[in-house]
Amino acid sequence: MSARIPAVSRKPRIGLVAGGLGAYWPQFPELLPQLRHSAARVAERMRMFDADVVDVGFISDAEEGSVAAGKLRAADCDLIVGFLTTYMTATMLVPIARRGGAPVLLINLQPTESMDHESFDTGAWLAYCGACPLPEMANAFERTGIPFRSVSGYLEDERAWARIGQWIRAAGVRSVLREGRHGLMGHLYPGMYDVSTDLTMVPASLGGHVEVLEFDDLRTRVDKAGDDEVEAKLAETREVFELADSVVPEDLAWAARVSVGLDRLVADFDLDSLAYYHRGLGGEIHEKLGAGMILGASLLTARGVPAAGEYELRTSLAMLICDRLGAGGSFTELQALNFRDGVVEMGHDGPGHLAISERRPLLRGLGVYHGKRGWGVSVEFDVRHGPVTLVGLGQTRDGRYRLVAAEGEVVGGPLLRIGNTTSRVDFGVDPGEWTDAWSASGVGHHWALATGSLLPQLRALADLTGLDLVEVAA
């Protein structure tokens, strides 16, 4: 059996089929070569989004469309792009949409911004006629129960390509979710009803697999961590973090040893994400493991394997979505409201996404983890200042997952120094009103805080996955 390609390295597989009405070719001999040239340029531009493009060629009638549908289905694409180069009938693309095995995006990119009306004849006009069949396709897709989406523009139209890129990136995230392996280790934080979830809803809503793990799976790997591996992890830690004076050397060494075990656990179980929690009692080994997770979980998150505490499976999935959109995604909750400055203060103790820190992250020693057993080192930083998006994965009364998102801006100002990732987020409205609206969305206790404006890409992801998207703006 061939090895699975890890989600962190897998490129989205994008099928491409271009087409036009074959009746035109003998009538206008220069038309088809021009359209084929445009199709080659489209394939080239799509590869610039770090996509694996499966180009099945140019179709001219319904029979060729049927053959292309079979090729695309065999390629197991994440998204199929149908390029309307000129007029073509719905019979050419409906079989592809129905049998291709992936969502379909139709693109209409004419050669340039506008026609040269003085010099154009019928053949030259037909190269600009990709918009003509678009309403026909939309009607046919609607009547056959196929979701419809399209992008119109011209061949080098950067606005159109930005929109196409959003669909390609969303298809890549959909692929990660469909094929991902998500670790769930330990047990529910006592009393957190909102965190509990039906594991079957992960493959039902997103695809993928949940691997149920014991803390003993980690313990055995920590026991086998060699001193040289621990020293290497300590060297990595000193390179990545600034160390506060409160860091106790013995606690740091233990966190490094746990981090080595975590790396091995992720590799052995082929995980793309991890959610964990274990309470432990009386200073025994499981309590020490749970308390020693923060360093290793943060390093894992920074390299593209999101790790969330408090058994937050849905939040580790939200973090994975953000990470694959290139926006980080740090484990987050509400901390306090600042009505004087008009900001919501949010963050979390425990693992953070180091790649989106405003400054070099700090490792702080803590004698107490509030609400948790144990002690040790914790990560402290502020998310990079500028636009941010909150992304949560809520669960409805009927068990369905849904995306919840809001956009704001991280701004500077005073922060707590208690070993938390803490940010001041301005949503442009009264912090209390925003908090009420966010809570009413059903998002749950935790979510991912990501950099940049992600709503356009999240809308595309919701469309491709069939998830509802709740956009919160008080």
CA distance 76 to 68: 13
Residues 173 and 202 in one domain: no
pLDDT at position 2 over 90 = no
| Residue 258 is assigned to a structural domain of this protein | yes
Please write the tens of the pLDDT for every residue from 434-445: 999 999 999 999
Query: Under 8 Å CB-to-CB from 42, ≥6 apart: which residues?
Result: 16, 18, 81, 83, 107, 109, 155
pLDDT at position 254 over 60 = yes
| Residue 4 is assigned to a structural domain of this protein | no
Please write the tens of the pLDDT for every residue from 71-127: 999 999 999 999 999 999 999 999 999 999 999 999 999 999 999 999 999 999 999
Please write the tens of the pLDDT for every residue from 274-302: 999 998 888 899 999 999 999 999 999 99
Strands 328-338 and 104-110: unpaired
On whether the CB atoms of residues 208 and 180 are closer than 8 A, the answer is: yes
| Residue 121 is assigned to a structural domain of this protein | yes
The confidence band for 474, taking pLDDT boundaries of 50, 70 and 90, is low
On whether the CB atoms of residues 322 and 450 are closer than 8 A, the answer is: yes
Strands 401-411 and 328-338: unpaired
Residues 144 and 206 in one domain: no
User: Amino acid letter at 421?
Assistant: T
Residues 244 and 141 in one domain: no
> What's residue 467's pLDDT?
96
Residues 459 and 340 in one domain: yes
Percent of the chain with pLDDT strictly greater than 90: 87
Residues 326 and 377 in one domain: yes
Residues 146 and 194 in one domain: no
Over residues 447-464, mean pLDDT: 97
User: Which CATH number is 271's domain given?
Assistant: 3.20.14
pLDDT at position 3 over 70 = no
The residue out of 142, 162, 178 marking a domain boundary is: 178
| Residue 156 is assigned to a structural domain of this protein | yes
| Residue 23 is assigned to a structural domain of this protein | yes
The residue out of 152, 178, 204 marking a domain boundary is: 178
Two tokens, residue 17: 């089929």
| Summary mean pLDDT of the chain | 94
On whether the CB atoms of residues 426 and 409 are closer than 8 A, the answer is: yes
> What's residue 366's pLDDT?
85
Please give the residue range of the domain that contains residue 83: 13-178
| Residue 278 is assigned to a structural domain of this protein | yes
Residues 109 and 215 in one domain: no
Residues 371 and 276 in one domain: yes
Query: Under 8 Å CB-to-CB from 245, ≥6 apart: which residues?
Result: none
Over residues 232-251, mean pLDDT: 96
Q: How many domains does the chain have?
A: 2
Residues 296 and 366 in one domain: yes
Residues 406 and 272 in one domain: yes
Residues 209 and 153 in one domain: no
CA distance 113 to 156: 9
Residues 432 and 372 in one domain: yes
**For the residues of 147-181, what is the DSSP string, one character each?**
---EEEEETT-HHHHHHHHHHHHHHHHHHHHHH-E
In the sheet that holds 307-308, the strands lie side by side as 209-213, 181-186, 273-277, 307-308
Phi, psi of 69 (to 5 degrees): -60, -40
Please write the tens of the pLDDT for every residue from 391-441: 999 999 888 999 999 999 999 999 988 888 889 999 999 999 999 999 999
| Residue 7 is assigned to a structural domain of this protein | no
